[in-house]
Amino acid sequence: MRIRRKGLWLACLLALIQTVALAQSEGQGNIPDDVFYLMPSFGEGMVYIRGQIPAQGQLNICAVDNTLRFKDKSGQELVAKDVDNILKVTIDGVDFIRDNGAFLRLYPAAGAVGLALKREVTFLRDVKAGAYGTTSQTTSVTEYSSVISDGLVYELNKSKEYPYRVYETVFLYQNGEVMPLNKRSLKKCFPEKKAFIDEYFKSHKSAPDTLTEAQELLTLLAQ
């Protein structure tokens, strides 16, 4: 029975995926793995699909084009299609949900209220690499030698430098709903702490814009 069930998982996953033309020598160019993927390495995972039984496999999520990646037994990397039918992905115990066309990583925080982190990698094709020497905590600039389009990786002209910028946005997550992290949503999630929230915004002027700061605030609200 266990073998049969595993076979069903594999069949469901294979129904989701299509092979991408990724030569082993190309990979992701000079983009670090922890930037190119949302997890540092492929891990054992489960895909929860609308109207189907869950599918299991070696999974990761590409942060550049927001595709779900899967490795078959030979180690070939495949890309999932119809990702909008995916409700949740769990990789090595870490949960990701789909929201507005992107995979968001969930972070448990304060009881039923959690945080969801969205990472966006934006290519700056017409900007010199040195033009962004000063960056914030949530932004980094480096060089890349390949670009993704329609699920394929294309090598760029290595004689030119193409910087990219990483944006990370923190959201609130409660009962399946993703909300912007602001005063209104905080009061909705913590109605008994409205006075505390008002005092917080008087001193801080704006909501936290990093995961660490957001986690610290929710820890205070949970007390």
Q: State pLDDT tens for residues 90-107.
A: 999 999 999 998 999 999
Phi, then psi, of 140 in degrees rounded to 5:
-135, 150
Q: Which of 50, 61, 119 is nearest to 90 (CA)?
A: 61
- pLDDT band (50, 70, 90) for residue 44: very high
Can you tell me the distance from the alpha carbon of 35 to that of 63, in angstroms, rounded to the nearest whole number? Answer: 7
Which of 71 and 105 is assigned the larger pLDDT? 105
| Residue carrying the six token digits 């945080």 | 115
Looking at the predicted structure, is the pLDDT value of residue 199 above 90?
yes
Give the other-Cβ count within 10 Å of 140's Cβ. Answer: 16
Residue 194 pLDDT greater than 80, yes or no: yes
Q: According to the model, what pLDDT value does residue 16 have?
A: 52
- CA–CA gap between residue 201 and residue 218 (Å, rounded): 14
Instruction: Report the pLDDT averaged over residues 59-87.
Output: 84
When pLDDT is cut at 50, 70 and 90, the band that residue 141 belongs to is: very low
Share of the chain above pLDDT 70, in %: 67
Measured CA to CA in angstroms, residue 21 lies from 16, 33, 76, 78 at distances of: 17, 19, 10, 9
Residue 73 pLDDT greater than 90, yes or no: no
Per-residue confidence band for 213, with pLDDT thresholds at 50, 70 and 90: very high
**pLDDT score for 121:** 74
**What would the pLDDT profile of 169-178 be if each residue is shown by its tens digit?**
999 999 999 9
Average pLDDT (43-68) is 89
How much of the chain, in percent, has pLDDT values that exceed 90?
A: 39
Kindly report the pTM of this predicted structure: 0.74
Neighbours of 189 (CB within 10 A): 24
